[in-house]
A and B are shown apart, each in its own frame.
Chain A
Amino acid sequence: QKEVEQDPGPLSVPEGAIVSLNCTYSNSAFQYFMWYRQYSRKGPELLMYTYSSGNKEDGRFTAQVDKSSKYISLFIRDSQPSDSATYLCAMIGGSSASKIIFGSGTRLSIRP
């Protein structure tokens, strides 16, 4: 079983829709949860960074962590074509504090 599972998509939605991206994980030691956005042929860019369970909002983006279910989500409101990218969830914690474990990424396409 992979430590982090993420649906690879692709996910295609119309402009203005609410997008929900999700990851599940198996290691209960994970404490920090991140979402990265990666445009084609570019390095990943940090979008959101949360610690432990709860919600965090930043503009059109909301990150949600449910440690009891080992489930994290990223919501994008009022989606724009410029949001089209691959979104990777990532986690840190446990015995190797700096080692980031990434999900496989979800390809998102926002249709104008």
Chain B
Amino acid sequence: GAVVSQHPSRVICKSGTSVKIECRSLDFQATTMFWYRQFPKKSLMLMATSNEGSKATYEQGVEKDKFLINHASLTLSTLTVTSAHPEDSSFYICSAEGQGIDTQYFGPGTRLTVL
């Protein structure tokens, strides 16, 4: 299957700082990337969908000014959590789909802890 990577795998930051998470498709061109959030023992919740070169589409209830998404190339999307607070602590997972890819492939996730 296709490979999607995320960096960093784990990050701890102080409240009020911003954190950037990268999502890369390693062996295919990702026309669309998705960002999910997962709380412990809960399902994945879609935060936003981004198409390369255009603005992301955010799900209801997700603050676009807080969770900045950039999809500048066909292999890279970034999620920046601005002015992070402890309630933003969560597991953030990206996925990607593209031409010739039959479904979304998920990254390994990034564990964010805000102190």
Interface residues of A (CB under 8 A from B): 6, 8, 32, 34, 36, 41-46, 49, 88, 98-100, 102-105, 107
Question: Contact check: which of B41, B43, B106 meets A45 at CB < 8 Å?
Answer: B106
Residues B103 and A43 in contact, CB atoms below 8 Å apart: no
Docked complex Cα distance between A45 and B2 (Å): 11
Does more than half of chain B's interface fall in helix, strand or loop, or is it mixed? strand
Evaluate whether A99 and B49 lie within 8 angstroms (CB atoms) in the complex, with A43-B108, A46-B105 already known: yes
Q: Which 9 residue pairs spanning A and B have beta carbons closest together?
A: A43-B106, A102-B43, A104-B43, A43-B108, A43-B109, A102-B44, A44-B106, A43-B93, A43-B107
25 contacts across the A-B interface (CB closer than 8 A): A34-B103, A41-B111, A42-B108, A42-B109, A43-B4, A43-B6, A43-B107, A43-B108, A43-B109, A45-B106, A46-B103, A88-B44, A98-B97, A99-B49, A100-B34, A100-B44, A100-B104, A102-B43, A103-B43, A104-B41, A104-B42, A104-B43, A105-B41, A105-B42, A107-B41
Whether A46 contacts B1 by the Cβ 8 Å rule is yes
Number of A-B contacts (CB under 8 A): 51
Per-position 1/0 for B1-28, Cβ under 8 A of A: 1001010000000000000000000000
Interface residue count on the B side (C-beta < 8 Å)? 24
B22 vs chain A, min Cβ distance (A)? 14
Q: Which B-chain residue is minimally distant from A44 (CB atoms)?
A: B106
**B81-111 at interface with A (beta carbon < 8 Å):** 91, 93, 95, 97, 102-109, 111
